A and B are shown apart, each in its own frame.
Chain A
């Protein structure tokens, strides 16, 4: 068990979960109004899993994500404006408008990037852990990926490599029980967390991934193990996405049972944690209301920042491929 978080940390957890929720709600609206080009994949319903994991890391620790991770830098404390601007494709976006919601990185908070290719960023996090180990800088890397990605071969190559070399990496499976329309249990042989045993590394399943403290505790244990040089951990967090796979997607089939959905919607991580904060006397109702207002204002401010930002000059499309200008290649 790791040390229980202090009251200020508990409040910060709620703040970051709220930021992700309100940010994603706004982004969803903006997709539907055509203000965000393309689509976004929200983490609504999964905030406890995101924030519990991110807050188990230091700001210098690394993380990678998947298509659903544009809000994960918020979990690490990133400001909202450059993230929202990136979703809209503005010049002030954290990736200058070149990544968008599926390929967003925020190096300032250790986010080495999402991957639109399911599972493909897992080796990147493994490599970040390798550099931490070789350089001896004490950092840890965490790879977020879904239950669908858990069936990609690169995860098993990575778990094996991390196991033999004792790399400081946490493989964090966000098991929201579906890969797009496909129920995890129909495509997953056995239990994901149990797969760790085959590699001789630690594996743990957080059954209640709607409880930010349960996630934080499990991931803190894994991060501590990594930092002490005791190697990788596979953490599977069971959670549920409240929205459709992506915003604006209309599939015309109900691949999720109505009863099941109702049951999980009642397990809203933000509502649950607010009650917990009250119960513990960490904050009064007024203070918690004020927190919600503050976060709403932050999201408004992020949208205002985005609106006031210019779109990038078309010439920017031809920058950042290489660090130099490829002498001799102009044609």
Chain B
């Protein structure tokens, strides 16, 4: 075990994958200079061994023009013909520039061609939400891609998961989109130094509890865990479940927890309409309705664009107080002091519409 940051763990997984297989290449803007911190050596080894460019050379480290459409399409074409590219698209908002390639080529080619193609390619991107980067850089667009059959979607919420899920993603013969949260970049924990993979479709129980299940996504996992710890002191037992991948989704893991607790809160930093939370709520309502003793509550970002000012942005995403309020609500407990502006916003949002 060694202590690694989330970003360091991603870098370590990329280095392992590059070392393990010559067919793995890294494609993206500013990857040569390691601008986003995942194409360098980690920690001390960076000084000793240099960045990926020195280790692997320009043939395998492809610093690109700002041309997302051809970056994504070319990675797909390369994957169909023998490479296993990892594409760094930096900000998740930039995925839209390549929407046609994602939806019409990456996701459809294997299916349309009757299985002739395989598409072993990983598209990494970082969600810069919560960092005052404004409406063009704060997107959490994973639900849009959950809506496209043929793609796999991973949302790692810890350093250990970031490393293990990325190795699985690179091994996958199908296209994987990983959505990394910048709010998690600096998070540190003990991570196995050796190579390991975390299977897709298997969630992680972050806190065990009996009273309420909180299914949380990306940075909301950290917030849900904080809420659970706080409520623990009051004798309220909250289970926090991180699905880790949204496609495939660990529905059995979610059902198992909900069957025990009978109550479900879903904390999802994406927008409310047709979000990951909507899908999880629908699945539980369809298949585990009898286990529920209270209606499901979603804690999401409202259907609103993201403002720049910290004074405005802070309230937008699920946070420990809005998750706490939701937990109290499903337990029929009094909700926190309405003088708290974030909680007020959340209460208004939770009110029936």
Report yes or no: B247 in contact with A130, Cβ–Cβ below 8 A.
no
- Please report the total number of B residues contacting A with Cβ < 8 Å: 58
**Residue in contact with B74 in the complex, picked from A116, A126, A135, A328, CB distance below 8 Å:** A126
Closest-by-CB residue of B relative to A328 is B201
**Residue in contact with A321 in the complex, picked from B101, B116, B150, B173, CB distance below 8 Å:** B150
Instruction: Bits for A123-159, please: 1 = Cβ < 8 Å to B, else 0.
Output: 1111111111111010101000000000001100110
Report yes or no: A327 in contact with B81, Cβ–Cβ below 8 A.
no
Report yes or no: A127 in contact with B78, Cβ–Cβ below 8 A.
yes
Report yes or no: B247 in contact with A120, Cβ–Cβ below 8 A.
no
| A46 touches B (CB below 8 Å) | no
**Which one of B1-9, B103-111, B297-305, B337-345 is at the interface?**
B103-111
User: Using a CB-CB cutoff of 8 Å, which residues 191-211 of chain B contact chain A?
Assistant: 199-202
CA of A190 to CA of B104 in the docked complex: distance in angstroms? 30
User: What distance in Å separates the Cβ of A256 from its nearest Cβ neighbour in chain B?
Assistant: 30
| A324 touches B (CB below 8 Å) | yes
| A297 touches B (CB below 8 Å) | no
| A97 touches B (CB below 8 Å) | yes
Question: What is the interface residue range for chain A against chain B?
Answer: 35 or more
- Given A112-B77, A327-B248, residue A98 in contact with residue B201 (CB < 8 A): no
- Given A125-B77, A134-B60, A157-B67, residue A328 in contact with residue B252 (CB < 8 A): yes
Report yes or no: A131 in contact with B78, Cβ–Cβ below 8 A.
yes
User: What distance in Å separates the Cβ of A216 from its nearest Cβ neighbour in chain B?
Assistant: 24
| A331 touches B (CB below 8 Å) | yes
A127 cross-chain contacts in B, Cβ below 8 A: 73-81
| A62 touches B (CB below 8 Å) | yes
User: Using a CB-CB cutoff of 8 Å, which residues 83-99 of chain A contact chain B?
Assistant: 93-99
Other A-B contacts than A95-B116, A320-B111, 20 sampled, CB-CB below 8 A, are A93-B114, A95-B112, A98-B112, A99-B112, A103-B112, A112-B77, A116-B104, A123-B73, A124-B80, A124-B109, A125-B77, A127-B73, A129-B77, A131-B78, A132-B81, A154-B101, A157-B69, A324-B173, A324-B174, A326-B201
22 contacts between A and B (CB under 8 A): A106-B116, A112-B117, A113-B109, A115-B105, A123-B70, A123-B74, A124-B105, A126-B74, A128-B81, A130-B77, A131-B78, A134-B60, A141-B77, A154-B73, A157-B65, A160-B65, A165-B62, A320-B115, A321-B149, A324-B173, A328-B202, A329-B201
Shortest beta-carbon contacts, A-B, top 6: A123-B73, A127-B77, A328-B201, A127-B74, A96-B114, A329-B248
